[in-house]
């Protein structure tokens, strides 16, 4: 079962993608929704400072951080990437700090700076990426696999059980990023059940 954080942001679109793939999911809004039956987590796009505040107010922040640090796969898109990054160039807040990149919030400007482009994504191929008030990463630590770049900036990365994109795969009809994440979840499930 994949937990989709439904505190704020574009979570419904992630749920549609998982449903199309036949992957079971449930919405996470409160501490009691975050149960032992979860095998993966999705942190959707939205407003990272609001999401970070709500995660703490709902008592979700510490158990989620512990689960990610314990190996549970997590997929963050846009704001989710900001929450997962170890460093934020223009945000003094501290969040999960589990992905060894330095991100810049709203790096492409306001809503008018939103755009679409085809990206070459390692392990996936050409992907129709949708950027909306998106971040990017300009530095990656050792151990971070850069999956995609545009304009010399990192827009998709993976480090062990952490997958993040600056763009919104859930706003396309292309299921491959969610299928990639579902495979990460299956591999983790196989190690925890043996």
C-alpha span between 194 and 190 (Å, rounded): 6
**pLDDT exceeds cutoff 80 at 110:** no
Residue 178, pLDDT above cutoff 90: yes
pLDDT digits (tens, 9 = 90+) for 158-170: 999 999 999 999 9
Is residue 60 over pLDDT 70?
yes
Residue 137 vs residue 20, higher pLDDT: 20
Domains and CATH numbers, the chain: 2-193 (3.40.50.880)
Of 140, 176, 132, 173, give the one whose Cα is nearest residue 157.
140
- Band the pLDDT of 113: cuts 50, 70, 90: low
pLDDT of residue 126: 96
Euclidean distance between CA atoms 89 and 130, whole angstroms: 22
How would residue 109 be classed by pLDDT, with cut points 50, 70 and 90?
Answer: low
Asked whether the predicted pLDDT for residue 112 surpasses 80, the reply is: no
Q: How far apart are CA 3 and CA 29, in angstroms?
A: 10
Across residues 81-106, what is the average pLDDT? Answer: 86
Average pLDDT over residues 79-100: 88
For residue 32, what is the DSSP state?
A: G
pTM: 0.92
Which are the catalytic amino acids? 78, 168, 170
Cα(78)–Cα(135) distance, integer angstroms: 6
């Amino acid at each position: 079962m994949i937990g989709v954080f439904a505190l704020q942001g574009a979570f419904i679109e992630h749920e549609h993608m998982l449903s199309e793939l036949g992957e079971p999911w449930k919405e996470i809004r409160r501490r009691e929704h975050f149960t032992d039956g979860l095998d993966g987590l999705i942190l959707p796009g939205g407003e990272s400072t609001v999401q970070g505040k709500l995660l703490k107010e709902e008592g979700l922040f510490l158990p989620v951080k512990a689960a990610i640090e314990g190996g549970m796969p997590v997929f963050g898109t846009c704001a989710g990437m900001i929450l997962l990054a170890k460093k934020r160039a223009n945000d003094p807040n501290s969040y999960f700090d589990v992905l060894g990149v330095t991100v810049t919030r709203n790096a492409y400007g306001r809503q008018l700076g939103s755009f679409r482009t085809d990206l070459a994504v390692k392990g996936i191929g050409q992907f129709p990426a949708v950027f909306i008030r998106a971040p990017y990463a300009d530095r990656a630590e050792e151990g971070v696999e850069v999956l995609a770049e545009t304009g010399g900036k990192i827009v998709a990365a993976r480090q062990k059980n952490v997958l993040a994109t600056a763009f919104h795969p859930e706003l396309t009809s292309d299921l491959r990023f969610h299928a990639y994440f579902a495979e990460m979840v299956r591999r983790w499930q196989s190690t925890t059940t043996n």
